[in-house]
Chains A and B, each alone.
Chain A
């Protein structure tokens, strides 16, 4: 059955060029969808092509399963990737994420997706070498499908409703899986109350990853001091607008840290305690007049020697083990600030975390 989403163009039309001319791409060529490809993606979503999954701000277009499928095919996804894209869009639609703000802000934030659980392995996602880079179809096209939906359905066209001053490369695709096999700790979603057999997607409005190099430390403190150093610039949004962030520990660093008996809980607490600036630093010692900074929590002292933490609590640090087996690197990924809260959502169903579950010294309610 044809719906209003289906149009006709003369035979012989270059479809790649036609989609460019409509303004319905991210700047790269899209895969021109066929009826059978769209139907296969709708089927992977459970059928019912007219079912509205959510509305996508700031344009508030209706994301029906068919529209979702069209964007999934255009991005180059296999049908089995479609449930991951849907889960990500539903996570982005949670009110606390504030997708309207993320889409429109002058800041460079883009939604970061991290996938945990069996589905990441089943569809061949990459949480290993070059995970944040190119080369893996699932990572590349799931992230791209989300971006195409944010553009086409959400209307976040640069300069129009997306007012980002700079943007960042993650606005093409920003999607990885956790390297659960190489991690000495429980997976991220298990820390948050899911079972290891559940699949889940985490979304965070995020700046690009900032590399953390440390080739000398053989203890947790040395490695984590390097990460804390990357966190404590006065320029990232967490430093001046608080909120959530992600920390990515490379497998080599993770093994060194875990070998000393440190848990995820210990790592997050260490970073929360030792990553801070002085208020005099973020207020430029009064050079531009008295600054209160309404974006920071009310309970912080606005005194020159007061410590201003990068995050207001250890739970604002979202810790993942990602990366290749070799290399003593980790990464800090700043968030947008207090204006957006990250969301973790089941990929299969609307099941909620079965909290409380305690792993690695953490009980998350």
Chain B
């Protein structure tokens, strides 16, 4: 658990981050959203002390981040930045081995960890371990950047606009991968972005920042149903908020018991996708099925619409 207590950063007379407090639960993804200049990156960089706070403090699992030298603290915290920042003069394997080497792991332990991560990130070791970053595609470079950040098994991973440089298709894939990785390693992830769609896709809880202040810190649905500030409504988008709300619930979560006729939809599909499918087909109801085709229940248009209203 990360406890951010009244964190403030001032440069001269300008306050970049203004008394931000938040409790970031373990094993979850927290997304900090804000426009450029909102202080979101500074907030993130105060967690691993790339920026030293003017006031306030951060504790990780109860221990103050200032209780050890900053560079030692950072070896325990994964860090991913926009444009990956891979070391161009080092191979993929060497890049991933950066932190384990700093920590003085044995060569065999480093080797097996690197291999494991390459497998996890679908980079065939024989082909990519000794490649240089410039020989990879943008998506692969980003994956290596995340693998490098996770190499020393940090419990916390900080990500600063990690997918900003990727095209939409690669980004969607990167989002799915990140969710898988988070589930697999149980890492506590704090991610900064200006993209509200990205926030809704990934976040267990979203923090909205503007002009250095934190306007709201809630699960995604609450941003839509109970926006704390007009700015939050503007960020989430008023026009399609019902559809956004639908996109937060999966078919499996909303499925009603019993079978019904109609097209079959995947249990993992969002209600937004199911509704769209029903509209397209002119059907009133759909059968929710597992990956192997077993029916899990059904959904009606009426039931879906009920999920699009604030409760």
- A, B: real partners: no
B contacts, CB < 8 Å to A: none
Q: Which residues of A contact B (CB under 8 A)?
A: none
